Amino acid sequence: PPGGASPGSGALNPFDRRLKRKQKNWAALQAEPAKCDYLREEVGGSIAERVFDIPRTFPLALDVGSGRGYIAQHLTKETVEKLVQVDIAENALKNAIESEIPTVRVVADEEFLPFKEDTFDLVVSSLRYIQQLCLALQIQRVLKAGGVFVGAMLGGDTLYELRCSLQLAELEREGGVAPHVSPFTAVADLGHLLSGAGFNTLTVDTDEIQVNYPGLFEVMEDLQGKYILCMGESNCSWNRKPLLHRETMLAAAAIYQEMYGNSDGSVPATFQIYYMIGWKYHESQAKPAQRGSATVSFGDLAKIEGLLKRGKK
C-alpha cells in the first residue's frame, strides 16, 4: 500500500502506512490475542448497539479496518444481510472471529478502498484514524445515497496521563519532547471533518474507559504487548522517536505516580472514545424547517405549567 497520500512521500500523510501494515500483521500473530482485545470488544459492541438503533435492514455493509471482526460478532443477519471486511493486514483477516453473517474478506489499504461508488448501505469502523480526511472521503464515496456511517475512534484525551508524564520527563532529562503515542483528534474538529467530507445529520458522543495499573512500566508493557500492538495501533507517525532512555523512563514513572497516582498506589490510564454517526445525503431524508416557520415560541414554555393547572380546574 502507498506510504502516504502520494507514493513514497509522507508529506501529506502523518502516518507511515507501510509500518502500520507491519505492526498489524505482527500483532495478529501474537499468542492468545483475545487477552488484549477487551477494549476493542467493548467498543465493537457499542457500535453494534448504535446500528441496532437504526430501524432498517442493511443488504450490504462494509467494516473498514475490521481486524479480527470485533464489530461483526455483535451484529445479526437480521440487521446486516451481507458483510465485507477490509483490513490492511492479511494476518488479521486470517484470524477473524466467525460471524453468523455471510462475510467476504478483502486485504486493502483502508485509505484507498477498492470499491465502486455507491456500493454499501452501511459502513462501520472501530478505533481507526478517521481524522484523516482521505479516509472520511473514501467512506463517503462507497456509501449509497441515504446510507449511514457508524464509527468509533480514540479521542484527544486518550492516555493523557502517560503523555504528560513522558513529556515532562523528557523536558527535564533531554531538553525536548518527541511523540511516543499516535496523535488523536479533538471532538471539536470531528464534526467539521465529517461534514466537510459530505456527511450530514451528524451525531457525535463520547465515552471514557479507565484502566488501573501498578505503575508506568506496567502501562507501557500493556500498551506494547496488548492494547496498542495487538490492536495494531502503535505509533506510526513519520516523526516518531525510536527509543526512550532509561533515566527518562524512571523520571516519567515518578511523575506519573505523583501527578495521577490513586490512593492504593496504582495509576490510571484513560481511553477516550468518540462515537460518530453520519448519513450520506438523499432527497428522501428529513430536512430542517424554514427559518421563521415555527408556530410556537420557546418563550411560551414557561406558560405550560399554568395552562396545565387551568385545564385541571
299 pLDDT exceeds 90? no
232-280 pLDDT, tens per residue? 344 444 445 556 788 888 999 999 999 999 999 999 999 999 999 999 9
For residue 10, the number of C-alpha atoms closer than 13 Å in the C-beta half-sphere is 11
Is 236 a domain residue?
yes
CATH number (domain holding residue 199): 3.40.50.150
Which carries the bigger pLDDT value, residue 239 or residue 116?
Answer: 116
* Domains in the chain, number: 1
Q: β-pairing, 199-213 with 267-280?
A: antiparallel
Q: What is the pLDDT of residue 31?
A: 60
* End-to-end Cα, the chain, rounded Å: 74
Is 114 a domain residue?
yes
What's the pTM? 0.76
Question: How does DSSP assign 183-198, residue by residue?
Answer: --B-HHHHHHHHHHTT
**Cell triple for residue 21?**
501494515
Q: What is the pLDDT of residue 62?
A: 96
Is 4 a domain residue?
no
Domain of 138? Answer: 17-282
CB 179 within 8 A of CB 16: no
Cα–Cα distance for residue pair 92/113, rounded to 1 Å: 17
Confidence of residue 170 (pLDDT cuts 50, 70, 90): confident
Mean pLDDT of 35-48: 84
Is 167 a domain residue?
yes
Is 39 a domain residue?
yes
Q: What is the pLDDT of residue 242?
A: 57
Is 249 a domain residue?
yes
